[in-house]
Amino acid sequence: MNPDRDDAIFVGKGTNPAFLMLPLANRHGLVAGATGTGKTVTLQVLAEGLSREGVCVFAADVKGDLSGIAAAGEAKDSFSSRARELGFAYEAMRYNILEQLTPNGRMNNYGGSAGCTATANFADQGICAFLTNSPHQLNALAPGGSHEVAIREQLFAGYVQDDWRFRSNLTFNLGLRYEFTTKPNDANNRIQEITTLSNCSASPTACGPVAVKSFIATNPTTRNFQPRVGFSYDPFKNGKTAVRGAFGIFDVLPLPYEFGLNTAATFPFQIIGKDPNATLGTGAPDPNVNFNPNAVRNRYVQQNPKRALVTNWNLNIQRELAPGWTLLAGYVGSRSVHLSAAADDINLVQPSGTPNGLLWPINGTAVDPNWAGGTGGSGIRPVLFDGASSYHAAQLELRKALSNGIQGQLSYTFGKCRDTSSAPVTGDTFSNSIAVPVLFFKSYRVGACDFDVRQALAATFIWNLPGPKASGPMSYLLGGWQLGTIVHATTGSPFTPTVGSGDDPLGTGFNGDFSMDYASLVKGCNPIHGGKNYLNLNCFALPSAPISFASQCIPNSFPGAPQAAPQGAVYCANLLGNAGRNSLYGPGSATVDFSIFKNFKVPRISEALSVQFRAEAFNILNHTNFSAPNFISDGNNNSIFDASGAQGGNAGVLASTSTTSRQLQFGVKLLW
């Protein structure tokens, strides 16, 4: 007899049934008796009864009496699906880096030297300066002055998500993620960095490097809750149309990569000195390289970063046009704030805003005159956490599923990316990056992202060629062929037209390889006419200001200018041009890849075994795709004028390619 009761568990029966009342089951109890009196059976009945009521049971089986009544558990679908929607992550990060920047020294900044102009014996001023032994400076590593950075950091993360079927044709996906990191530190406790650049002229010791336990003073990740929501909607309830959208917050964590490389290139991990007047071939030590702690390259990190986060959102509509054919139209957007922004130097003379643009004082003083050699010294490599970016794009996709041996896809994106810095680690992250931007003036920094490609088209096509239906040698030879192609076309990447090549016409005192001065654009003139000589140099001008402004300009600015300043104006070398960052775009790119596959089945060895011969051609049309003018790979061909005002010999001349020539590849692949 096992009477059913909703409020109790049947234990046994003597004269009358005995029950354990569920409201009292949380009390302490004792099951006692001699061997054979039913203690184990009683425990079994209690465990089974509690389990039926949904109560988890744990039994400490010291003697082993209960092992016989135990049964293997089974995974329930409801529990398994719920477990997949919960997660936890932990990472212990160890990031070691040793930076030995030119341990034998480096003579750099060849370009624009005295006697080396575009009208002299050499069209390329850099080659002229090199051959005439006229570098601008020597950077040298102190003997034994290189040490390893050993960054340590931990990450803890967890998430929960669930699908909510609100209606038969509408489902929501809801989620929440949390991420926390410890503050990054050095395992050897060697971090010394400048923690403020405010009021640095107050005393000789102001704004100097100090020992700190972590690169940052406060932890911006403690409240990193990241909600996510998405939906899928079938408006006609026929499975042929889907409307999808999502919104989410994602954190950009202060991870070791943001601190490691530039820290390894600065004091005390690397002791770099500088001599701006060094020359080659003297055969004697250079007594002017200063390794004094006040003169070597230093590091500045903004100490109280705010939470760096990215908000992403998207909306798209997908429609089945015909069996196997689908069309998708969508929009994606993104907004980021408080991102890391790096540069190769921040210890610059600072400009002031004027009606004519940013103006640098004549013979000005750097932000931190007491350290890193002061104005024109070895430099201070910074990380600020004030970067911001935005991205918006429309997307189209036409897809054909595999049928009758044919499948393909056509995708097109029209987008726009703008930011204040595309360099989270070093100043010259990309070949078109301004390595030493004026970080304290966001108006100078705003422009297209260094990687902004406005339009992109990609098409893929695969055709399984029909073969003979009958078996035999002809079927073996003519069957199993497959043709494929990928077409990819994009518009060009952005670049900045500059003045000064490797010099410093603005008088910022920067320690870098390339000028951050902008050229000026002539109104109503198209600066791009295409071809190898990509730029119309007549559409560029040297920065100039009204004659009333002349007293604030460097005297005799741009003596090598190809023509006089406009009427009523004077050239002003210390005035920033109007072109702006990444204001022009380079040539587009187009490639066609092609492949031929032949599949042979090998049934004598295995029904599942086949051999595939592959012939692939990349850029089969051997189309030349030129890189945009840039700072690094093409001799600084984005510099329109040198520091004297003369036009650069290679200004706007396309000299390198962004893709390879035609490449052929053959291979054999075994499939089983």
Residue 110 has a pLDDT of 53
For residue 268, the 8-state DSSP code is T
For residue 45, the 8-state DSSP code is H
Q: How far apart are CA 333 and CA 166, in angstroms?
A: 26
| CA 366 to centroid of chain Cα atoms | 31
> What confidence tier does 161 reach under pLDDT thresholds 50, 70, 90?
very high
Q: How far is CA 172 from CA 82, 153, 320, 471, 484, in A?
A: 16, 36, 22, 52, 38
Q: How far is CA 208 from CA 106, 292, 316, 512, in A?
A: 26, 13, 53, 21
Q: At 89, which amino acid appears? A: A
β-strand pairing of 325-342 with 380-403: antiparallel
Tokens 């991420």 — which residue?
179
Q: 40: helix, coil or strand?
A: helix
Tokens 């990740």 — which residue?
221
Of 36, 43, 15, the closest CA to residue 1 belongs to: 15
Q: Is the model more confident about 165 or about 129?
A: 165
Residue 580 has a pLDDT of 96
Q: Is 346 exposed, middle or buried (0-12, 13-18, 19+ CB in 10 A)?
A: buried
For residue 402, the 8-state DSSP code is E
Mean pLDDT rounded to a whole number for the chain: 89
* Whether the predicted pLDDT of 323 surpasses 60: yes
Rounded percentage of the chain residues whose pLDDT exceeds 90: 67
Q: What are phi and psi of 636, to 5 degrees?
A: 60, 45
- Give the pLDDT confidence of 125-149 residue by residue, as tens digits: 666 766 776 666 777 788 888 899 9
Q: What are phi and psi of 281, to 5 degrees?
A: 80, 15
Residue 351, number of CB atoms within 10 A of its CB: 22
Residue 119 has a pLDDT of 46
Q: Domain locations in the chain?
A: 8-72, 80-98+147-390+416-452, 455-672
pTM: 0.82
Mean pLDDT of 351-369: 96
* Whether the predicted pLDDT of 447 surpasses 70: yes
Mean pLDDT of 633-660: 92
Alpha-helical (H) ranges within 424-578 are: 442-445, 473-478
Q: How far is CA 213 from CA 190, 193, 218, 307, 340, in A?
A: 8, 10, 11, 20, 20
> What confidence tier does 66 reach under pLDDT thresholds 50, 70, 90?
low
Q: How far apart are CA 422 and CA 611, in angstroms?
A: 46
Mean pLDDT of 161-185: 96
DSSP string of 194-211? B---SSTTSSTTTT--EE
Q: Is the model more confident about 89 or about 84?
A: 89
Q: How many residues does the chain have?
A: 672
Q: Output the furthest CA–CA distance in the chain (Å, rounded).
A: 121
Which residues share a beta bridge with 331?
315, 394
DSSP string of 541-594? E--EEEGGGGGGSPTT--TT-SSPPPTTEEE-TTB--SS-TT-EE---EEEEEE
Residue 226, number of CB atoms within 10 A of its CB: 18
Mean pLDDT of 624-639: 92
